[in-house]
Structure 1
């Protein structure tokens, strides 16, 4: 009897709760209307930078004799920027050129020696043929024939030596030419030129200063690579996309507008839960959010069920499955 009575009490309580839920009138809610084409405005702290920035200097050390650019100047690729004292290097270039001239003269002398050796060899060959013929006719002695043969062989060896001398001198000429090119390259390193079309941001040295190899003389940037690296609250960054066009305004120049595109993004969207109205009843749904504009409105980028409306301000008493009476909000 106790068990039956307890179950009866529980059943009565359940019936009373159900009648209370279903006898309440619809809950008045306000829903938001979707908008499209909303202009996104994002605010954040950042810096104006250049992706291509170069601190240029000389590959050799010496005293600066001239500077042809200053901070704020625009320069073109190959334009002269600075010059180092180069008298010592110019002397080395002159010495290398003199070595080439001497080599050319030595080569000419060696080539003449080769021609002389060939002429002597031709004479000795003719003499040897004549002596060998006389020996066969018993007109000349065998000793004379042997001497003629020996003289021809010596002359042929002299030709080989002369031709080898020419080969050595030509190789020395190639070495002298390489040495000249090296000295000319070092001389060219005494002139600093712009590596690309650039804007001079900073000049680090003055004429007369002695600089070492690698010391920066100018800081250059490529004007085409200037970008703004901004740090934006993830909640406000929203659904930015690569290649997305935008208008940029700086606090330092509030009246100026700069146009560009998004080239790098370091964040993604975020998620949250909202109340929705589906088939006349309340339901909680987790959505993916994107951008937040300057009026506090948030873009919904995914997971919103079809025919569902988002509740603008959940009223007191909101519960899953509660019937609603919909009104339109902003």
Structure 2
């Protein structure tokens, strides 16, 4: 007997659909639980974020009162010498000796160089001979005066006798006239001899002047230091032929070495002569050298809008190099105590006014404040508008909001 085959699930479309529906119904509870968990986590996260944003105290950095704060102005310049001289011979010649070199310290009057002076020495010897000749002529003229005076005295005596004889008729008129003429001639000879003495004396004065001139010119063949100096350049060498006035050395007075600094005009108004300065040379960046403002030049640089300030060293360093770059930190005032805030922490900065964040009774507040001096590191003095117990926030960050709770970061006060 034949068996009738049982119908398969695949042969019944309704049975297949029922199976799928059962499978979906089994998965739905699992998916709903996942979605519900995600929503719950989102709600928890939002709540935590809201707590972080609005309720949790924000950590801030605050400023502390500083003591003895220097207010400084910055200037950049170079090391220079106020007294600097290029010296040479006043006469032409050939260099036969050099006694100084670059870096030497020389005393006033020290011999630095010499020219060949043989020809000039001959001129001096000739001038000396001329003086001796003039002196001899003076002696000769003086002897002539003495001789003329003797002749005059003798002629006077003879003339007196002849005139007496004429009055007594003991001699003729002719003889008395001859005696009188001899007397007058002798007196003229005395006057002439005395004039020769004056001429001789004048010749001596001229000869002395010529000798002094030639001796002075001889001194020009020796070059000496005009003051206590340091040699910064030797421009000629042994055997060089020089023209009159051609420089041989460059000298400076070490006591006049200073820093010529250029300060922005907008910052230079508070600078005064005598104010202390810290000098930093480019070759010694880790060292601060004491100085003071020696002079403020009355004319500014029109192009760069900078004021020239000359700064003297309190104690001159052993090694200095002209033209070396130097930084100058000029202290214009010292604040006994100051409350300072970084410029970056001040909102609406302008006209010495600004807005800052403060911590007052553990909560954030904003205050309009009055500003004072500005330091080189970017901090600004707060001079008014801050309550007595308030702390100034020094670093802006996200989450700052009026009345929000705040706590001070440990070790964050400045």
- Normalized against structure 1, the TM-score is what? 0.75
> Superposition pairs for residues 148-163 of structure 1, below 5 Å?
148-163=179-194
1:297 corresponds to which residue? 379
> Superposition pairs for residues 1-330 of structure 1, below 5 Å?
35-39=66-70, 44-233=75-264, 239-265=270-296, 266=307, 272-275=351-354, 289=373, 292-293=375-376, 295-298=377-380
| Unpaired stretches in structure 1, ≥5 consecutive residues | 1-29, 316-326
Q: 1:180 to 1:306 in 2, by over 3 A?
A: farther
Q: 1:214 to 1:154 in 2, by over 3 A?
A: same
**How far apart are residue 143 of structure 1 and its match?**
0.6
* Counterpart Cα distance in 1 of 2:367 and 2:166: 134
**How far apart are residue 257 of structure 1 and its match?**
4.0
Aligned-residue RMSD, C-alpha: 3.7
Judge conservation of contact 2:80–2:260 (CA < 8 Å) in 1. Answer: yes
Q: 1:128 to 1:253 in 2, by over 3 A?
A: same
Judge conservation of contact 1:236–1:292 (CA < 8 Å) in 2. Answer: no
**How far apart are residue 235 of structure 1 and its match?**
6.2
1:5 corresponds to which residue? none
* Counterpart Cα distance in 2 of 1:207 and 1:152: 71
**How far apart are residue 267 of structure 1 and its match?**
7.5
Judge conservation of contact 1:82–1:191 (CA < 8 Å) in 2. Answer: yes
Structure 1 range deviating more: 247-256 or 188-197: 247-256
Judge conservation of contact 1:62–1:210 (CA < 8 Å) in 2. Answer: yes
Q: Deviations over 1:201-246 (max 9, x none)?
A: 0000001000111111100111111111233455666844321223
2:346 corresponds to which residue? none
* Counterpart Cα distance in 2 of 1:78 and 1:170: 35
Q: 1:188 to 1:36 in 2, by over 3 A?
A: same
- Is the partner of 1:196 in helix, strand or coil? coil
Judge conservation of contact 2:263–2:308 (CA < 8 Å) in 1. Answer: no
* Counterpart Cα distance in 2 of 1:202 and 1:261: 28
* Counterpart Cα distance in 2 of 1:297 and 1:236: 15
**How far apart are residue 58 of structure 1 and its match?**
0.8
Q: Deviations over 1:21-71 (max 9, x none)?
A: xxxxxxxxx997764522456655421111110001111110000000000
Q: 1:311 to 1:148 in 2, by over 3 A?
A: farther
- Is the partner of 1:78 in helix, strand or coil? coil
* Counterpart Cα distance in 2 of 1:74 and 1:223: 9
Bigger Rg over Cα: 2
| Unpaired stretches in structure 2, ≥5 consecutive residues | 1-60, 297-306, 310-331, 333-349, 357-364, 397-406
Specify which structure has the bigger relative contact order, considering alpha-carbon pairs within 8 angstroms and separated by 6 or more residues: 1
**How far apart are residue 113 of structure 1 and its match?**
0.3
* Counterpart Cα distance in 1 of 2:201 and 2:266: 75
Q: Deviating runs (4+, > 6 A) in structure 1? A: 30-34, 235-238, 304-313
Q: 1:172 to 1:305 in 2, by over 3 A?
A: farther
- Normalized against structure 2, the TM-score is what? 0.60
Q: 1:236 to 1:128 in 2, by over 3 A?
A: closer
Q: Deviations over 1:133-186 (max 9, x none)?
A: 111111111110011011100100010000001101101111111111111110
Q: 1:256 to 1:275 in 2, by over 3 A?
A: closer
